[in-house]
C-alpha cells in the first residue's frame, strides 16, 4: 500500500497541469517567450522588448527596484547588459502558467544566462495581457 501511495504521489508531482495541456493560449505564450530568447541570444534588445507592452505603464521590478515604462526598461537593459558578451546566452525554464480573469496570465519561471564573464540566474514572474490581439508582458518581476 505504501508503495502505491508513493507511485501516485510521484505521478501527481510530475503530471502536467490540465489547464496547460488543454489551454490553447499556453503554447502561444510559450512561443512569445521563445521569441524573447531568440532576440536576446541574437543581441537584439529592441526585439527582446517587442514582447513587452510598449507603454509608460509597463512595470518592471528588478534588483534596482521598480521601473515604469517601456523605454526606461529598455534603457536599463542596455546599461546592465552592454554588448553580446554582457548578454551571453539566455535560457528559460517555464514553471507555472496561471489563467487569471479576462485575457490575463501569470507565468513563473527561471532564467539563466551563460556568459564568458560569469553566469547569472534567477527567477521571474510575469503578468501577460492580450492587447490588440497579441500577448504582451505588462509586468515583470525578475530576481
- 116 occurs within a structural domain: yes
Full domain range(s) for residue 112:
24-142
Distance of alpha carbon 54 from alpha carbon 39, whole angstroms: 16
- 136 occurs within a structural domain: yes
Res 110 pLDDT > 60: yes
Into how many domains does the chain fold?
A: 1
pLDDT of residue 21: 52
Q: Which letter does DSSP use for residue 16 in this model?
A: P
From 100, 102, 103, 106, select the one nearest 125 (Cα to Cα): 106
Q: What is the CATH number of the domain that holds 50?
A: 3.10.450.50
Grid coordinates of 54: 510598449
pLDDT of residue 2: 39
- 92 occurs within a structural domain: yes
Q: Angle at the Cα of 29 (from 26 to 35), degrees rounded to 5?
A: 145
pTM over 0.85: no
Res 64 pLDDT > 90: no
Q: pLDDT per residue over 15-59, tens digit each? A: 444 444 578 899 999 999 999 999 999 999 999 999 999 999 999
Distance of alpha carbon 14 from alpha carbon 9, whole angstroms: 9
- 14 occurs within a structural domain: no
- 55 occurs within a structural domain: yes
Grid coordinates of 67: 521601473
- 8 occurs within a structural domain: no
Cα 70 to chain centroid, rounded: 16
Provide the terminal-to-terminal Cα distance of the chain, rounded to the nearest Å.
42
- 6 occurs within a structural domain: no
From 104, 140, 105, 100, select the one nearest 123 (Cα to Cα): 140
From 80, 75, 94, 83, select the one nearest 42 (Cα to Cα): 83
- 41 occurs within a structural domain: yes
Average pLDDT of every residue of the chain: 87
Distance of alpha carbon 94 from alpha carbon 36, whole angstroms: 13
Res 5 pLDDT > 70: no
Amino acid at each position: 500500500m505504501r508503495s502505491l501511495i508513493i507511485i501516485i504521489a510521484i505521478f501527481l508531482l510530475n503530471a502536467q497541469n490540465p489547464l496547460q495541456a488543454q489551454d490553447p493560449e499556453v503554447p502561444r505564450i510559450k512561443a512569445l517567450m521563445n521569441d524573447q530568447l531568440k532576440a536576446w541570444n541574437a543581441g537584439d534588445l529592441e526585439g527582446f522588448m517587442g514582447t513587452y507592452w510598449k507603454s509608460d505603464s509597463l512595470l518592471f521590478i528588478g534588483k534596482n527596484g521598480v521601473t515604469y515604462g517601456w523605454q526606461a526598461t529598455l534603457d536599463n537593459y542596455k546599461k546592465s547588459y552592454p554588448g553580446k558578451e554582457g548578454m551571453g546566452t539566455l535560457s528559460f525554464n517555464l514553471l507555472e502558467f496561471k489563467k487569471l480573469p479576462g485575457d490575463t496570465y501569470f507565468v513563473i519561471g527561471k532564467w539563466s544566462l551563460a556568459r564568458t564573464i560569469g553566469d547569472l540566474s534567477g527567477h521571474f514572474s510575469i503578468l501577460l495581457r492580450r492587447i490588440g490581439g497579441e500577448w504582451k508582458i505588462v509586468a515583470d518581476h525578475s530576481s
